[in-house]
Amino acid sequence: MKKFTIGTALVDPAANEVQKDGDIVRLEPKAVEVLCLLASKAGQTVSKEEILEAVWPKTVVTEDSIIRCVSQLRKAFGDPELIEAITKRGYRLNSAVRFLDNNDAISVEKVLTRVSRWQKHLRWAIPLLFGLIAMLVVWGNPNFPYWGVGAAVVIVASVVGVLLTPMIVKITSDS
């Protein structure tokens, strides 16, 4: 099956991999087969029987096998609502799916790689920037009367930077 995207994630069924936010998650082959089936019918409910027949043909398995695969997929994508369980009926993929030809797949991989590199640099650059600004304010002023407070300002600014970084990275990756 061709590579495809679900949201910002790139799915490579041949390699049993999902690339999301610069991280590569390896999946079990059966989980990838379930994902491919759901992706081919995105937005539609796929019955449990259809999943069992397509993924485990001529094999006796219980619905627990589907549940395990869906759980693994939700964890890989970091979104518990990506695959919706429809009571007594089946499952539905709640995301747009875009199947890629070879040229699209290469360009998407390059963009995802660039974005992930930028995000990794941003994770350490923002706290460093907050710390440097605080140091310049405190130690750049020779008449600063409270050197003990100055050290605390630097520490607080760095901690704030560390706490804000995941939110800033999330906001920039969503846009």
Asked if residue 92 belongs to a domain, the reply is yes
pLDDT (tens, 9 = 90+) of the chain, 175 residues, equals 788 888 888 899 999 999 887 788 999 999 999 999 999 998 899 999 999 999 999 888 889 999 999 999 999 988 888 999 999 899 999 988 888 776 544 444 555 555 555 555 556 666 666 666 666 665 556 565 555 566 666 667 666 666 666 655 555 545 4
Q: Give the end of a domain, one of 43, 67, 99.
A: 99
The answer to whether the beta carbons of residues 8 and 20 sit under 8 Å apart is: yes
Task: Give the closest residue to 129 by CA, choosing from 161, 165, 102.
Answer: 161
Q: Give the end of a domain, one of 99, 124, 154.
A: 99
Q: What total of structural domains would you count in the chain? A: 2
CA atoms within 13 A of residue 34's CA, in its CB half-sphere: 27
Count CB-CB contacts under 10 A for residue 51: 21
| Token pair belonging to 92 | 């539905």
Q: Which CATH number do you get for residue 70?
A: 1.10.10.10
User: At 72, which helix (H) or strand (E)?
Assistant: helix 63-77
**Nearest-angstrom CA–CA distance, 117 and 94:** 28
pTM: 0.60
